[in-house]
Chain A
């Protein structure tokens, strides 16, 4: 869904590397001699942020996990995921959460093999969103202070 990507690398810089960063990110890097055909040595990443469960307390949400196609099948995705889980543990997070598209069978199988529960399938949780005009409308209805 490339038309959905609206942010720039400048925004990532200002949001992720300021005094109170909005996200954390781990990158997977290969040595120069193994760089990709376009010349990249940074070949994968995991982007996450902290969340809160009023039932269990601190939690971590893994927003993105990605490995460039030519570097897959070598355990890089699994390493990034493990490292993120380590971060979660260090910060005393009780949960690591993420979303997966229902048609993305390889990813669903990957996470299921790691012991992730599918809360949508198992318990009926649906993700709901306000954005654009609907978010503006909702905000305009807020009581005046």
Chain B
């Protein structure tokens, strides 16, 4: 199947918002999604964007059953490792179910890697749920390693009330 991989622009935010919800459904956490199309437009396409996006698009004749031609995305941002310098973090990687198994996920991730290297990044990081065996197997087959498993790092988060309390002097 023919497809193209390109940088996202502000007009893509409607489809990105749609696919974010589809990915949240897959991860069983739709009630956690608060980000709107408008948030994506403001946060991703202003002077100092918080993230960058890559879109996978198919020609009109291969559109999805609901008529979508934008059928996958990757969303990433730049991070910093005090050990190795600039790094990239891939927040989301998603391909609509009907378009899987054709190398589109791999192509999206490779594009993120290419752009990250071009920007001087030494690492590309992301997180995966340990029960998501299909994804874990895919990523390991691409040559990455599980930092949590190997080095023992745990991901920690403060939000809502805990974050409010933390910010008190």
Given contacts A55-B24, A138-B109, contact A125 B130 (CB under 8 A): yes
Chain A: interface residue total (CB-CB under 8 A): 70
Question: With A50-B50, A89-B167 in contact, do A123 and B80 touch (Cβ < 8 Å)?
Answer: no
A125 to B78 CA separation, bound complex (whole angstroms) = 20
Tell which of B50, B85, B155 touches A58, judged by Cβ atoms closer than 8 Å: B50
CB distance from B140 to the nearest CB of A (A): 8
Supposing A56-B159, A119-B154 touch, asked if A128 and B113 sit within 8 A by C-beta, the answer is: no
Residue contact B122 to A131, C-beta cutoff 8 Å: yes
Q: B91–A143 contact, CB under 8 A?
A: no
How far apart are B137's CB and chain A's nearest CB, in angstroms?
12
Against A, the Cβ 8 Å flags (1 = close, 0 = not) of B130-168 are 110000100100111111110111111111111111111
Shortest Cβ distance from residue A84 to the other chain B in the assembled complex, whole angstroms: 8
Across the two chains, which residue of chain B brings its CB closest to A86? B167
Residues of B82-138 at the interface with A, using a CB-CB cut-off of 8 Å, are 82-86, 89, 91-92, 106-107, 109-111, 113-114, 116-117, 121-131, 136
B163: A residues at CB distance < 8 A: 85, 88-89, 94-96, 115
Q: Which residues of B contact A141 (CB under 8 A)?
A: 106-107, 110
Partner of B153, one of A4, A101, A124: A101
Report B-chain residues with C-beta under 8 Å of the C-beta of A121.
154
Q: What does the 1/0 interface line of A1-33 toward B look like (CB < 8 Å)?
A: 100111100010001000010110000000000
- Report if A22-B84 is in contact (Cβ < 8 Å); known contacts: A102-B154, A131-B124, A139-B110: no
What is the predominant secondary structure among interface residues of chain A facing chain B? mixed
A84 to B131, CA, bound (A): 33
A78 to B131, CA, bound (A): 34
Please tell me if the beta carbons of A126 and B147 are within 8 angstroms of each other in the complex: yes
- A126 B122 Cβ-Cβ under 8 A: no
Instruction: Assess the B169–A56 pair: CB atoms within 8 A.
Output: no
Query: From B31, which residue of chain A is reached at the shortest CB distance?
Result: A55
Q: Which residues of B contact A86 (CB under 8 A)?
A: 167, 169
Q: Is the CB of A98 within 8 A of B156?
A: yes
Task: Say yes or no: is B51 at the interface (Cβ < 8 Å to chain A).
Answer: yes
**Chain B: residues with CB nearer than 8 A to chain A?**
4-5, 20, 23-24, 29, 32-35, 39, 43-44, 48, 50-51, 75, 77-86, 89, 91-92, 106-107, 109-111, 113-114, 116-117, 121-131, 136, 139, 142-149, 151-169
Query: Which A residues contact B (CB, under 8 angstroms)?
Result: 1, 4-7, 11, 15, 20, 22-23, 47, 49-58, 61, 63-64, 81-82, 85-86, 88-89, 94-103, 108, 111, 114-121, 123-131, 133-143
What would be 24 A-B contacts, judged by CB atoms less than 8 Å apart?
A6-B84, A47-B80, A54-B33, A54-B91, A85-B158, A89-B163, A97-B156, A99-B156, A102-B152, A115-B158, A115-B162, A116-B162, A118-B156, A119-B154, A120-B154, A128-B125, A130-B125, A133-B143, A134-B143, A135-B121, A135-B123, A138-B110, A143-B4, A143-B5
